[in-house]
Amino acid sequence: MYSVKNFINGKFVDNNDKLPVYQKFSGELLAEVPIATPLQVEEAIASATESFHVFKHFSTEKRAGILKELYGLLKENSGKFSRIIAAEGGKPISYARSEVNRALDNIETGIRATLEFTGRQVPMDYLNGKGKTAYTLRFPIGPVLGITPFNFPLNLALHKFIPAIGVGAPVILKPAPQAPVTLLLLAELLSQTGLPQGVVNILYTTNELSQKMVEDDRLKILSFTGSDRVGWKLKSLAGKKKVLLEMGGNAAAIIDDSADLKRAAKKLAYGSFLNAGQICISTQRIYVVETVFDAFLEHFIEEARQTKSGNMFDPDVVNSSMISHNDLLRIDTWVHEAVKQGAIILEGGKILDEKANIYAPTVLTNTRPEMKVWSEEAFAPVVLVEKVKDFKQAVSATNNTRYGLQAGVFSDNIKHILYAQNHLEVGGVIINDIPGFRIDGMPYGGVKDSGLGREGALYAMYDFTEPRLIVLDA
């Protein structure tokens, strides 16, 4: 069992109220996480507020140096972090290792961004600006509150931590109740770096006290990753804070008649069922032009049948445990509700292991927008495959949702590619790859109910700062 404590004002803090955290496949107890008290939450906020006045003046070299120290420590402990990510989140071990590798790349990207981050020269040589020189400098807005999800407990926390440290802003990180151990173990590494006391606070607490932090005006930025229902509620409570939201979706992919169907089917099966579909940009809807629908579907069903489900520590497993029994029952209900409304199960559509919360890789067709499996975020190993008349209809169907995070387009037709980039209502259009493609330096975020703002160290650093104009009279 892992021993973890909250990290508040430079100290590791325990208390009697605990949250039990279980291994998602076996059910064994992994850790008992202390639940921070109101006084401990207040100390975290006060220490972040006070340390801001010191940390914002740290040199770029010192801030980048802290990130370099973290990189070395995480690399040394990569195996440990891979195992706990897999255990508490139900994530296949190969994908947990990938998360740690991405986290290391994320830190390296953040180091470069920290060293390169700057304002810009402002043109002045016209009207009464002639003879003047102007430029902007960027300054941190203030302490950041980061609320993170269970599905990437390390790397998505770093997407809040890295830009905050990079610009000189303290940060409070609150992990998800389903998988808080990873982030609390990260605090042990951070305590070994040159971070000043109070600059980083990592704590698990109740929803009520989390809401108090969201409402507290001393914290100037809220960066939230999670469901749109929770995200929009928190935004309504955040007062004058700057709010950044990354809230997932029901990502779609489009297949046209110029696509490599075998390649598309292989990639999309992996992108639909990996980590039990519990990825914000997991493929949930596939639209295929009618001339190649049957051929694509044959390839895709075969790939779905070959997807291995089971224990997350089996290196060949792609689809393992869902995060909770309630989520397992929820998606089974959604699938069978859709069937009653006319949907057809082409593969799966059943619980494989109720004790380990494993749902079968599932392929549906004949679905409609009013069905939950279409309109809501499934966050499960369920994908819809539908026939469309042509490429424009596929784009229209992709847009027929309140979400808009990323979309995949499999095509070698330049006219289709240009049409997609100009008409898809999403934050990212991925050509000839799955909607789930991401490297951590890219600007990542969505439109509509998928969120506000962008992640990626450099892009988040702009969101975490404000410009100050300097005008010099020569």
Indicate which residues carry an active-site annotation: 246, 280
Is the separation of the CB atoms in 21 and 32 below 8 Å? yes
Q: What would the two tokens of residue 113 be?
A: 């961004």
Cα separation, 141 vs 146, whole angstroms: 14
3-state secondary structure of 436: coil
Distance of CA 434 to the CA centre of its chain: 16
Q: What is the dihedral of CA 42, 151, 280, 73, to 10 degrees?
A: 80
B/e letters for 341-357, b = 16+ CB within 10 Å, e = fewer, are: eebebbbbbebbbeebb
- Give the relative orientation of helices 181-190 and 60-76 as an angle to the nearest 10 degrees: 120
Contacts of 76 by beta carbon, 8 Å cutoff, 6+ apart: none
Question: Angle at the Cα of 121 (from 120 to 122), degrees rounded to 5?
Answer: 115
Q: What would the two tokens of residue 122 be?
A: 């402002």
Cα separation, 138 vs 151, whole angstroms: 32
Q: What would the two tokens of residue 384 be?
A: 């819809």
Contacts of 72 by beta carbon, 8 Å cutoff, 6+ apart: none
Contacts of 389 by beta carbon, 8 Å cutoff, 6+ apart: 289, 290
Cα separation, 46 vs 43, whole angstroms: 5
Q: What would the two tokens of residue 207 be?
A: 């929803």
Q: How many Cα atoms sit within 13 Å of 198 on the Cβ side? A: 16
Contacts of 11 by beta carbon, 8 Å cutoff, 6+ apart: none
Strand duo 242-246 + 451-452: pairing: antiparallel
Report residue 147: phi and psi, to 5°.
-115, 120
> What are the respective helix, strand and coil percentages of the chain, to the nearest 5?
40, 20, 35
The CA–CA distances, whole Å, from 227 to 3, 148, 231, 335 equal: 29, 11, 6, 20
185: number of Cβ within 10 Å: 21
Residue 233: its H or E element: helix 228-237
